[in-house]
Amino acid sequence: MTALIKICGLRSIEALDAALHAGADLVGFVRYPRSPRHLDLKEGRALSQRAKGKAQRVALTVDAEDAELDAIVAALDPDMLQLHGEETPERIAAIRARFGRPVMKAIGVAEKADLHRIAAYQDVVDRILLDAKPPKTAEALPGGNGLAFDWRLIAGLDPACPVMLSGGLSPENVAAAIALTGVQALDVSSGVERAPGEKDPARIEAFIRAARAAWAARNHRDEVA
């Protein structure tokens, strides 16, 4: 399975170019007004066109209605839709049928029981994003809160299940996350920022470099074992 890195919440040409230059496999654009990473459609269109053919472009939404999704798809032409709200399996199936694009569904994790939700979505999505369950506060966002869950919870997941790990990742801890979980796909946002919504190109590069090195070391250990 190919190891994948997604840099999410990109809002500037500088940050997007840093992600592409460093070798990000996926780049994420957020359409959620409460988020400091929210993009208007004009900005999103320009960034998405710049990334076309260089990385998979992912549009993130939260419980969006069809009209909003229509506008997002028309403007951003995303390669994948990321659903980060309370979308049901039935709603996701309808979205996939309407737009004919791969879908990634975020599931919040705080304890082992939360992983039982994977089974409900596994047959209707192309990938499952495992993120830290947001705190129960008024200002908390569905994702991008910079929080991590106990990564040991997913260490025994079926490796064939197409999951992506998110929540609290950073250049400093990504190697530990890979070592604990064995995941082959990562999503980072706040961990590569200098301020909320403001990506740091140096941290983007450092994150991707650290993740690739950790995967290479793990593969080497497996080969010599």
Positions marked catalytic: 8, 131
Task: Give bridge partners of residue 166 from the DSSP assignment.
Answer: 187
β-pairing, 80-83 vs 103-109, is: parallel
182's tokens: 């064995």
What's the CA gap between 116 and 17, in Å, rounded?
Answer: 38
Task: Specify whether the CB–CB gap between 10 and 116 falls below 8 A.
Answer: no
β-pairing, 163-166 vs 185-188, is: parallel
What's the CA gap between 28 and 6, in Å, rounded?
Answer: 7
Task: Give bridge partners of residue 128 from the DSSP assignment.
Answer: 105, 163
217's tokens: 């070391």
